[in-house]
Amino acid sequence: MCLDRLYWRPWLFEFHDQTWFSPELRQHIQNLLAFLWTHQILPFQTKAPYVRATAVLERVIEEIEEEDRMYHEDKPLRIVDCCSGAGGPMPAIERTLNARRQARSLPPVPVLLSDLHPHTSAWAKHASISPSGSLSFVSNPVDALRAPQAIRAKRHLRTFCLSFHHFGESGARAILQDAMESAEGICIFELQALDFATFCMMLCLFPLTFLVTPFVQPSPLVLLLTYGLPVLPAIFVFDGLVSAYRTRTPQHLSHLATLATMSASVASADRNGVGMIDWQWEFGTETHTWPFGRMRWAVGRKDRIPRDEDDEDDVDVDDLVREDEAEGSGPGMEE
């Protein structure tokens, strides 16, 4: 397919993705990422990045619940976070989201952490301090390309926080297809993109690593490879640059979603005779760190609202991209 050739690129590699990479050092990099997700860095951030992701998730959940009321349905919904690593932003998102819901007398939304390489010790600590008791985890390995039946059987919304770019074209397409077949929707969050601004931001990670490391319980080996011989800061920057290089544009993701829709529809027709699976997509961008850092998000959901045939024409993905109104806002300005 010509578009496949258009979006093809050498995949490169990230150090902490490799099977030979030290689990101890991988854990440290994941801890650094979780710290950057969940802490506000003054004066460059008006809020921690996880707060922005929480707002998107909260809106999506409210839209689903509104549709439930429209169709007189009362099915519980939970969030299944894929590729959770050491927890990432999801424990903080769960606390903030459910605190807001409690203030509005709404039931909490359960959040389930999962990963191909489960970090159960870290997850257990997060779960133990969840005020609502709504954070839990899957102890067994979970392949994001094909969720186990225990996850698929319950109504859920899948999330990928700074992790979707780790998958190649076939893997990303398989993830979207699996979500279309068994999930209510999918939310993808990335804190980077393939642009010059992100390149500048990634270079800033080198000195930032020296400042943040003391706050993430470093081991003696981590301290040695950070302050003695700065291998880990260099790896952190290198992996960040590759992550930016791999991050997909809305147009690219929309192309993969179209292919996944076709595959999911064929599979659905073969299983139960039901044909076309229809999902709606929207994309957004907003500043998380002044002046370079931009959070990109994508939301795909089942289209439950009946539409006239005249409304089913393809929509240009550019029309679905929500751009920040204050793109050049400074660190002291609320967006």
Q: How confident is the model at residue 5 (pLDDT cuts 50, 70, 90)?
A: low
Rounded distance between C-alpha atoms, residue 234 and residue 248, angstroms: 24
For residue 121, what are its two tokens?
């010790």
Q: How confident is the model at residue 308 (pLDDT cuts 50, 70, 90)?
A: low
* CB of 151 closer than 8 Å to CB of 142: yes
More confident residue, 313 or 4: 4
* Model pLDDT for residues 195-248, shown as the tens digit of each residue: 999 999 999 999 999 999 999 999 999 999 999 999 999 999 999 999 999 999
Q: Supply the pLDDT for residue 298.
A: 98
By CB atoms closer than 10 A (0-12, 13-18, 19+), residue 42 is exposed
- pLDDT of 34 > 80? The answer is yes
Report which secondary-structure segment, H or E, holds 78.
strand 78-82
* Model pLDDT for residues 168-187, shown as the tens digit of each residue: 999 999 999 999 999 999 99
CA-CA distances (angstroms) from residue 88 to 35, 122, 222?
8, 10, 19
* Model pLDDT for residues 6-22, shown as the tens digit of each residue: 777 888 999 998 999 99
* CB of 184 closer than 8 Å to CB of 65: no
List the one residue out of 246, 309, 315, 308 whose CA is nearest residue 283: 315
More confident residue, 92 or 268: 92
Tell me if the domain spanning 27-193+248-303+314-322 has CATH number 1.10.10.1400: no
Rounded distance between C-alpha atoms, residue 161 and residue 154, angstroms: 21
Query: Please, what is the Cα angle at 68 between 265 and 268, to 5 degrees?
Result: 10
Q: How confident is the model at residue 329 (pLDDT cuts 50, 70, 90)?
A: very low
List the one residue out of 317, 10, 320, 50 whose CA is nearest residue 162: 50
Q: Supply the pLDDT for residue 142.
A: 97
* Model pLDDT for residues 54-63, shown as the tens digit of each residue: 999 999 999 9
The whole-model pTM stands at 0.89
Q: How confident is the model at residue 2 (pLDDT cuts 50, 70, 90)?
A: low
Q: How confident is the model at residue 129 (pLDDT cuts 50, 70, 90)?
A: very high
**Dihedral sign for Cα atoms in the order 287, 289, 290, 294:** negative
Q: Supply the pLDDT for residue 331.
A: 40
Number of helices and strands (H, E) in the chain?
11, 8
To which residue do tokens 């991988």 refer?
Answer: 26
Q: Supply the pLDDT for residue 210.
A: 98
* Model pLDDT for residues 276-294, shown as the tens digit of each residue: 678 999 999 999 999 989 9
Sketch the domain layout of the chain as residue ranges.
Answer: 27-193+248-303+314-322
Q: How confident is the model at residue 306 (pLDDT cuts 50, 70, 90)?
A: low
To which residue do tokens 């191909």 refer?
Answer: 116
Average pLDDT value over all residues in the chain: 89
